[in-house]
Amino acid sequence: MHESSPAEAHRGPALVADGLTKRYDRGTLALSDVTMEIGWGRITALVGPNAAGKSTLIKTWVGFERPTQGRVLVGGIDPWRNRAEAVALIAYLPQVPALYPELSAADHVDLAHHYRSSLDRAGALARLTNLAVPLDRPAKALSGGQMAQLGLAIALATHAPILLLDEPMASLDPLARREFIDALREGVREASVSAVLSSHVVSDIEQAADWLVVLGVGRKLLDMSINEATSQHRVTESHEPTGGGGEVIARLPGQVGSLVRAEPGSSSGRHASLEDVVIGYLSMDRVSRPRERIPMSVAE
């Protein structure tokens, strides 16, 4: 019997933001007219500085925040109007997993299974065992990396078709980050789900993701595959358009040159790295847009 894929089971893209604007009660603008679609079967990196609106965007998909204007969809479902249906499609992992200090890793898996009976308990325990996370140790005695792996193991064990990961590696050391990324890539590949990974660390994005969305101060700056982002941009010494054509995005910090979105076949300058692309678009945003201060507590 054919088992349908997430894309076959739900209409349209995995996630949609359509003219999404979010303004908080005191008038603070967190997101401004953001429109994007996130497809199935890939890991999308959502990157931007603190206070760019990354967490706010993710929380609108989870149904924690209500759009001021526009709408969001999760598997074709509006999470504000039909939260239970939308949440059933999502596994959400915040920056700091919500763990009970006295409960062990195994207890947390059992608790998650109690509230979500479809959770693959055996699979979660096996994943934690393979990563050498002690199942009987209370959460308060786990390292930051072990807590993050516990949260990811539970998220993957839900077999939800959409994973929303909000800066889950922010407090991890380099080895723990690499282990987390490896586990994420393996889990997404095995289940053919769609994952959104919020981060401001370019090396994490390069290792984990195949699609890039750059957010500036509440607005979308770039939305394309990572391969396209690096192949379509170059770094030139000149700060003006060159004979090879193309659009100057921004002068890169440190006077090393400018990021240019090049015409096909352009050979001017050098190929842009992913870090060049991200820094270039964020620099463009800083120069071209008056800054409306966004409290980090609500829009980071």
The whole-angstrom separation of Cα 57 and Cα 21 is 9
- Has residue 131 got a pLDDT over 60? yes
Domain assignment present for 116 = yes
Domain assignment present for 106 = yes
Least confident of 101-115, 121-135, 285-299: 285-299
Percent of the chain past pLDDT 90, that is, above it, reads 54
Last residue of one domain, picked from the residues 159, 187, 207: 159
- Has residue 206 got a pLDDT over 70? yes
- Has residue 5 got a pLDDT over 60? no
Domain assignment present for 127 = yes
Domain assignment present for 154 = yes
Last residue of one domain, picked from the residues 159, 175, 200: 159
* pLDDT for residue 264: 75
In the chain, the amino acid numbered 242 is T
| Strand ranges for the chain from DSSP E | 15-23, 29-38, 43-47, 69-74, 90-93, 162-166, 194-199, 211-215, 220-225, 233-236, 247-251, 258-261, 270-271
Query: Domain containing 265: what range?
Result: 227-299
User: Do residues 77 and 240 touch, judged by C-beta distance below 8 A?
Assistant: no
Number of structural domains the chain divides into: 2
- Has residue 300 got a pLDDT over 70? no
User: Do residues 213 and 35 touch, judged by C-beta distance below 8 A?
Assistant: no
Domain assignment present for 244 = yes
* pLDDT for residue 292: 45
Mean predicted confidence (pLDDT) in 199-222: 89
Domain assignment present for 208 = no
- Has residue 11 got a pLDDT over 70? no
The whole-angstrom separation of Cα 254 and Cα 185 is 34
Domain assignment present for 295 = yes
Closest CA to 138 of 172, 95, 99: 99
- Has residue 245 got a pLDDT over 80? no
Per-residue confidence band for 298, with pLDDT thresholds at 50, 70 and 90 = very low
For 133-162, what is each residue's pLDDT tens digit? 999 999 999 998 899 899 999 998 999 999
